[in-house]
Structure 1
């Protein structure tokens, strides 16, 4: 099967595997503030992500490209990013690096959003030369390097050799002229992995946890002999953020992707230490099922929901979420206990 058909299969199956109605964010509650002493209209949604200053903590995360039919999807996403001031990443550009005929399915985002913050995207198997070409293709402001070991293992035509990944990432980080972001695609990150990335100076890390688009299920839908026992592989987004807690004072910025359904989930991720959140499946659905006008309204609603949470908690700036007390329960709490992650302080923050 060629890469273009694979890209279309991924979109079809991603849409078919509906977003979970519940996920790990439901195991978090904020301690309410009945005297917030604040005005909704005075809130600030600006955020610092490494060297970038963003107007919103919401990023349109990597989704697609590499087929003629995906050009329209990326075009719509770029329009939303432009109109709402959102940073945006494209899907893996390896397809265009191997087949220049699909280059426009990626470069369209820069045409539609000439002044926005855009991230190029390659896999950890890429060379420095491929990384530079991906950045040039978009005139990108940053570069995502995605990690998707389980997806590759389940993909019928996927990679089987993952040796040298960390060394390749370091070479790319040292030689590309833009900041590098390393992201998981939905299987989460443990503190051991995060530590290795910080040790080589990666300025942005997307912990990409389980809870959103499930690429194990997507690839199993493409297999003649599925391996469904791996459908729930990995860590949830909440578990991954807990794993990152010990590394959040080491200079890297963290993005939480995986199962962000609405503005309250954004608030919970920020309160767990994320600097920003990524949404992929949610954006794919709205551009495939809504007009541009309705999609823009949906983004406004997400921002409104975030502002409601901020007002109810009495905070004016996103970084103040780190001082809001929150209660962790259920499987996420049990996980933290077994991994010896101290979460007691979360409930008693001032």
Structure 2
């Protein structure tokens, strides 16, 4: 039954990708164009660092799948693409492995095909400390993702209905494992209040994983005989809304959910993300066109991200936080209601320029 559920998730996620309208709240974030702001391409580095973690690139393949023969093949192809491009990668939820150790190979292939890469194991918030350690050990993981997904569990026919233990369990796991713990949503977003709580729990980073990409409420409703939870489709906040909401919260942030192209990566980095992940679009590519097409896609994204940074004058991903942004549409309304002054983002280069004059640093 678990293997069938994993295969259903892949099938329904790809169907969503094919049916997507293509628009989301990333389109409501616009860079102010400064015609003489550019730098030289050799001056641009894609390296990023957060929570003691260093990545060569700020792009990662986020958690997807594992637990069945078919998903093991998908994970192998994803791992090959990660190896060939130097992109970090996360496994899908490893709950299936805890229930049936015979499917271990559908997850461990991520490390077998990518022996020197940055690999993240993935467990849910009900995992025992022992199982969290097993997950890390199986993948020789560099970090551990804990996914939180109350909306998905609520709609899932066989899902959990008890969530009160999640907070203390996350704290226990974060204190017990020997690798950094990253807590991520599965596409419904993390509010500022949640990010602040995660910092208190000892989590090292948070992946806001917002609305706009794969909708797991829709996926799980598609598995229900009556499809009677359709009204929960579209629940939550977008990744860009979450990044705006969590400004200055203190915990390093990653962003995923609805990331469609290198410009979305640049937008998320400019809003304070230390790294940006994608899943659904990469899954569609590897399933429809094969692993070589995914390698080409990842290579193109990284090259075009560097080109956008060159145009904007950002020598590092962190420098994008000095670029001016306009916040428009429904995203601006969200900011107003949450007490976020969007004008500050439109004038950042002026403040950065004034700081450079005071410190004597070159722009």
Q: 1:135 maps to what in 2? A: 136
Note if contact 2:38-2:311 (Cα within 8 Å) is conserved in structure 1. Answer: no
Decide which moves more: 293-302 or 154-163: 293-302
For residue 241 of structure 1, the aligned residue among 234, 240, 243 is 243
CA distance in 1, matches of 2:105, 2:285: 22
How many residue pairs end up in the alignment?
346
Q: In the alignment, what sits opposite 2:353?
A: none
Tell me if the contact between 1:32 and 1:312 (Cα under 8 Å) persists in the aligned partners.
no
In structure 1, the partner of 2:177 is: 176
Q: Normalising by the residue count of structure 1, what TM-score does the alignment of the two structures yield?
A: 0.97
C-alpha distance in structure 1 between counterparts of 2:343 and 2:307, whole Å: 26
Q: State the match for 1:337 in structure 2.
A: 336
* Contact 1:145/1:180, CA 8 A, preserved across alignment: yes
In 2, the alpha carbon distance for the partners of 1:306 and 1:86 equals 14
Superposed, 1:135-284 pairs within 5 Å as 135-226=136-227, 227-247=229-249, 250=250, 252-284=251-283
Match of 1:306 in 2: 305
SS at match of 1:340: coil
Structure 2 Cα separation of the partners of residues 98 and 20 of structure 1: 37
Query: Which structure 1 residue ranges, 5 or more long, are not aligned?
Result: none
The gaps in structure 2 that reach 5 residues or longer are: 350-363
Task: Tell me, in whole angstroms, the C-alpha distance in 1 between the residues paired with 2:163 and 2:108.
Answer: 29
Structure 2 residue aligned with 1:112:
113
d(CA) in 1 for partners of 2:332, 2:66:
38
More displaced stretch, 307-316 vs 73-82: 307-316
In structure 2, what is the equivalent of residue 328 of structure 1? 327
Deviations 1:220-259 (A, max 9, x none): 1111122111001111111111111130xx2x32110001
Shift of 1:308: 2.3
- Deviation for aligned residue 1:20: 4.0
- Structure 1 distance, partners of 2:28, 2:337, is 17
**Residue deviations 1:203-225 (CA, integer Å, cap 9, x gap):** 11000100110111111111112
Task: Give the corresponding residue for 1:65.
Answer: 66
- C-alpha separation between the residues in 1 aligned to 2:293 and 2:159? 37
Distance in structure 1 (CA, Å) of the matches to 2:38 and 2:181? 40
- For 1:341 and 1:218, the matched residues in 2 are separated by 32
TM superposition shift of 1:291: 2.9
Q: 3-state DSSP class of the match of 1:6?
A: helix
Q: Where does residue 80 of structure 1 map in the other structure? A: 81
